[in-house]
Each structure stands twice: as C-alpha cells, then as structure tokens.
Amino acid sequence: MYMSQSELEPRLFVAADIDSALELNNANSPSVGEIDRSQLEFLIEHSLYSFAIGTAQLHAFCITFAPGAPYTSVNYQWFSRKYSDFVYLDRIVVRENMRNQSLGAKLYAAVEQRMLKDRCAPLLTCEVNLKPPNLGSIRFHNRIGFSEVGQQDSKPGLTVSLLAKTIL
C-alpha cells in the first residue's frame, strides 16, 4: 500500500483521533499504561503538545505535559519534584507494523521543534521501562540523545529509567 509523504509526517492531534489512539495505546500495554477513553480525553485536554501521524489510519501519536499539569503519574510527579522547567513526554505509541520507519523519531523531532519555537523549556523528559525491559525503547532513547537522570519503581513489578535531554 502506497502512503503519501504527508501521511507519515507529524500533525497536531485532533478529537477525531481519540478512538484510534485508544485502540493503539491499549494494544501496546505494558510498554505504555493501559487507559480508558475518559483517561485519554483527560490527557489530551491537559497536554502541552499532542501529535499524531496518519490520517486514513493512525500510525503513531504522542502526548506531552508542562509543569503544573493536573496529572498524577508517579513518573511525571518525579520530574516535577526534580525540575522546575521541563516538558514531559508521557506516552509515545507507534503501530507495530509501522515500526522502524522513523515515526517515533519524527514525533520527538516535532516536540523538540515546537519546544524551541515556543521557548517553553530547556529539557525534554520521559521514562523507559527497565523491568520489564523495553530494549527497543532504551536503544532508541540512547540514540536520540537522552541520558538517565534517575530510576524508580513506578508500581509493583515496574521499574523505569527516568530520562532527560537538553533542548537548545
């Protein structure tokens, strides 16, 4: 199936993406936490930036938060205690059959470009599962310039590496 180049470029997340994003998110548990529709709507409503890739079918999406968001994620709270000025990338999901096509890198680049344009924060933060290990995500984040700034047990059986990248 041929896809136009624009079909594979990040765009702003829109309300019509909710159902596809929910399905995509929950198909990727435990790499990202499973959520319901109202939780996803809450995340989008309170996000700083949310991007999506795909029009006919949603291929990927990401959601970010600024400091002070009404978000109770233990990982977001960890960054909130450590830093006063940051952007937290809460979740990034790429459809399995679309992996290894740079969609994740394109979403990160869209967030970083927007951060630079808006001059909103010098630091992009996120976490990656260490237990259970998400080896692909660990390699990816190392490759695009993230460094570990801490670790924590987010919940029983889940240990994460807390990552940060300076955005100049």
Nearest CA-CA partner of 120 in 47, 60, 58, 59:
47
Residue 5 has pLDDT above 70, yes or no: no
pLDDT (tens digit per residue) in 142-166: 999 999 999 999 888 889 999 999 9
Residue 16 has pLDDT above 60, yes or no: yes
Return the CATH superfamily for domain 5-166: Gcn5-related N-acetyltransferase (GNAT) (3.40.630.30)
Could you give the maximum distance between any two Cα atoms of the chain, in Å? 47
pLDDT given at position 90 = 93
Is the distance from CB of 150 to CB of 113 less than 8 angstroms?
A: no
Q: How confident is the model at residue 4 (pLDDT cuts 50, 70, 90)?
A: low
pLDDT (tens digit per residue) in 87-118: 999 999 999 999 889 999 999 999 999 999 99
- Virtual torsion, Cα 84, 103, 135, 26, nearest 10 deg: 80
Break the chain into its structural domains and give their ranges.
5-166
pLDDT (tens digit per residue) in 62-93: 999 999 999 999 999 999 999 999 999 999 99
Is the distance from CB of 31 to CB of 137 less than 8 angstroms?
A: yes
Nearest CA-CA partner of 84 in 72, 66, 70:
66
**What does pLDDT average to over the chain?**
92
Token output for 33: 């936490």
Instruction: Report the C-alpha gap between 44 and 17 in whole angstroms.
Output: 10
